[in-house]
Structure 1
């Protein structure tokens, strides 16, 4: 039997498994069964809590930041390995704090290793804030086809540690008509796939110096989710890019599972983007790995 904790960030839910010494070998098939909402626990992904020193990918994290004791080994619901998860890392940090494995004192940061590099987490008014690091526009902007859209739409490729394609829609009605039970088609298709965000600007777009948008997302390896943290960041970055030089650096992004905050700020290695929002632990249990 393996102990687990169920947690979520704005409805983006995860199975958390503590494996500090890296003794548990999770196969893609096991992850898929655990995440199955009919035959397993049900989740958008699995967060394995392992020390950076106990996982091969952790060596790079420790070289980047020796204080990054913990590594977030994240798997999508289909068992595939993912680079980063913005909601997941806040839930991961909350688990570390609640379980006594780490602490985030006022004014301090907790460094966590991921496959996208070390990410720093702090406490925020709404829960936790994570610095997602430097972002970049992708070299290719695919055309996007999705059920419910009458015509193909242009997408903007953005990388925030994992790949995204953001698509602008005209209205809430168009956003609601999307049928995301089938994977949107990207042309050209990125080699590693991408999360696809569909976004509608608020009316007005900017209120009291803060941008407002609404979003739905199809996550690679998962399907439509109630929220996607890195997708929220990519969405805010895309809308700011489209809006031009006068657009704000602070955004509120509404997703089906709630609202998240995004902030852009300068750093030594280029502009960074930070994501803030709640993290909750829901229940604990034990499960057989088959």
Structure 2
């Protein structure tokens, strides 16, 4: 048995086990990650964040080639142990950990670049905690349909790629959103090659207030199940609703999830339109755990 130190953190209820491994010496198997994230037999979390220097692992080489200042790499694993490209809430929690542990600094107005499997993501401070530039997004082609428990017929979805795949589904009412049973994985046809996070959304009334769009969302994350929040899913939801709302729709959104509220902002950049996510990041407690 090996004993490792960990920190538990969350962003609007999307929770993580954080393990510091600066030199990349800890090789966690899928089963070990799944045990650590198990809510009955482990610590319990939606995923695991391994804090490792970018130059200590193969995936980090691409991050350093993109930005030589991306010293730290977020090795994100889903609760089932599978590797994931990105996690919008996880990046904010990762940045919070780096700062509190003294591994990085982030002065007001400056940027902290963090390596991920989807590329480098820049983090800045915001009024609510941290803002992460999720980079350029892409609408997927095709017309997927989604079936889920609690809705009577399959619904059309819009595919959005934010480094990780999403399918956003519009529902007709708050009642439909509440009636969803996401204890079972929604069925997507045709099945996406990499899987996808599935977001179900309803507009608030009115949709736009004081120039800000407002929606509610629930999400089923691949490799996890239903979570209280999904950062990239929140961004994908805002992008999808803006697309459906038409050219007069705003570029600022507030998305309510079961774990709280997050802000989304779309803005132009040299390589195309980017989307940013703002919200809190909280570290809850630290401890040690025996790892088989």
TM range (shorter): over 0.9
Q: Which residue of 1 aligns with 2:109?
A: 107
* TM-score calculated relative to the size of structure 1: 1.00
- What SS does the aligned partner of 2:213 have? strand
Q: Who is 1:20 aligned against?
A: 22
Report the 3-state secondary structure (helix = DSSP H, G, I; strand = E; otherwise coil) of the residue aligned with 1:288.
strand
Q: Tell me by how many angstroms 1:139 deviates.
A: 1.7
2:205 equivalent to 1:206: no
Alignment match of 1:76 (pick from 75, 78, 87): 78
Q: Could you tell me how far apart the structure 1 residues matched to 2:102 and 2:45 are?
A: 24
- Supply the distance in 1 between the matched residues of 2:190 and 2:285 (Cα, whole angstroms): 42
Alpha-carbon separation, structure 1, partners of 2:176 and 2:125: 36
Q: How does 1:100-249 map to 2 (within 5 A)?
A: 100-249=102-251
CA contact (8 A) 1:31 1:75 kept: yes
In the TM superposition, residue 289 of structure 1 has moved relative to its aligned partner by 1.1
- In the TM superposition, what is the alpha-carbon distance from 1:273 to its structure 2 partner? 0.2
Give the secondary-structure state (helix, strand or coil) at the position aligned to 2:58: coil
Distance 1:260 1:234 in 2: 12
**Structure 1 CA distance for aligned equivalents of residues 14 and 74 of structure 2:** 16
Helix, strand or coil at the partner of 1:230: helix
**Unpaired runs of at least 5, structure 2:** none
- Which blocks of at least 5 consecutive residues in structure 1 are unaligned? none
Aligned to 2:253: 251
TM-score, normalised on structure 2?
0.99
Can you list the C-alpha shifts for 1:1-43, whole angstroms capped at 9, x where unaligned? Answer: 1000000000000000000000000100000000000000000
CA contact (8 A) 1:141 1:165 kept: no
1:182-211 CA-to-partner distances (Å, cap 9, x unmatched) read 000000000110000000001000000000
What is the SS of the residue equivalent to 1:215? strand
Q: SS of the residue aligned with 2:61?
A: helix
| Count of matched residue pairs | 290
Aligned pair 1:6/2:11, yes or no? Answer: no
1:6-85 equivalence runs, <5 A = 6-85=8-87
Q: In 2, distance between residues paired with 1:55 and 1:197?
A: 32
1:194-251 residue CA offsets vs partner (Å, 9 max, x unmatched): 0000000010000000000000000000000000000000000000000000000000
User: Aligned with 2:92: secondary structure?
Assistant: helix
List structure 1 runs of 4+ shifted beyond 4 angstroms. Answer: none
1:44-90 superposed Cα distances (whole Å, 9 cap, x missing partner)? 00000000000110000000000000000000000000000000000
Deviation at 1:140, TM superposition (A): 2.4
Aligned equivalents of 2:220, 2:157: Cα separation in 1? 14
